[in-house]
Amino acid sequence: MPDGYSNGKDAFFRYLAWSEEDERWRIVCTDAGHCEVGPFVPYPPNIDAHPGPFQTVAVGRILKEYHIVYVTRGRGVFETQGCRFVVSPGSILLLFPGIRHLYKPDIDTGWSEYWVGFKGAHIDSLSRAGFLSPERPFYEPGLNNAILSHYLQILDLVRCQAPLYQLNTGALILGLIAEILSCERKAVQSTHAEELVVRAKFLMEENIGGEISLNWIAKSLGVRASYLTDVFKPYTSMTLHQYFISIKIVRAKELLGRGLPVKEVASRLGFRDEYYFSRLFKKKTGLSPSRWKPHA
């Protein structure tokens, strides 16, 4: 398996094998690497060390696997399905099986790139569900430590190839995808929407001992209830009611941990029925309030 070098700087890439056992994990890593491409260096550097389909990246190619490319320095271009994107530090390029694409650094800047290739039934199902889509092949999360960390861990595993490394690498690839989508979700949240969510959370914390409705919160914030719902759930992955219950349970744990009786905790948190509170608490935590301990 070849390791490559470019422009006098250490650059690592490896094209991998996998077993039937690995395939049952429903995601396998096909290749991974990192290289620093200096100004006026032909791209890809060390071209003969790459398999044939990978050598034509700068002029156009079609691969059989998914790839995620992360550019951390320099600038360049990325073209796919008739769209052209300007690549800058912090850009993410998503490549899909069977879809033609090309990318390359500008000759006068070069760039630094990390990449990982993968395939499998689980990834295909994520693509069918719309989590990954050829209609959205370009992201700009910026220079993100969590994304870089995933790549560095993947490269460490690929270098060592310890037993079951494919399974661990697959988990990291899924984590990488989740991190990219998380950055995207945060980016689409407008400043106003974020402030609205923060204010809604504050109102619920402030009124944690009572009963409040979606309409009351929306009216207090001066927005439509439907708009507040649309903003709040994507930001928190919960409805307002679910969030309100969750913070009540968190507060209940604190109060029970101080030794307060169950009946008093239920009353403080606005539950008129102690038994309903006990059933809800057990459903959320797995323990009845009377058995709850701070370390549980």
pLDDT tens-digit map of 203-222: 999 889 888 899 999 999 99
Domains of the chain, earliest start first:
5-188 (2.60.120.280), 191-291 (1.10.10.60)
pLDDT in tens, 242-263: 999 999 999 999 999 888 999 9
Q: Which of 284, 265, 286 is nearest to 274 (CA)?
A: 265
**Interval 154-195: pLDDT, tens:** 999 999 999 999 999 999 999 999 999 988 777 665 567 888
Return the H-helix or E-strand segment holding 189.
Answer: none
Tens-digit pLDDT profile for residues 72-118: 999 999 999 999 999 999 999 999 999 999 999 999 999 999 999 99
> Minimal CA–CA distance to 254: which of 294, 205, 211, 210?
294
d(CA 230, CA 130): 19
Write the DSSP assignment of 27-60 as a string of letters: -EEEEEEEEEE-TT--SSTTGGGS-HHHHTTTT-
DSSP 96: -
**Quick one: CA dihedral 173, 175, 180, 185, positive or negative?**
positive
Query: Residue 33 forms beta bridges with which residues?
Result: 13, 115
Q: What is the pLDDT of residue 43?
A: 95
Q: How far is CA 272 from CA 204, 211, 277, 287, 292, in A?
A: 18, 10, 8, 20, 20
Is the pTM higher than 0.75? The answer reads: no
In the predicted structure, residue 241 carries a pLDDT above the cut 50: yes
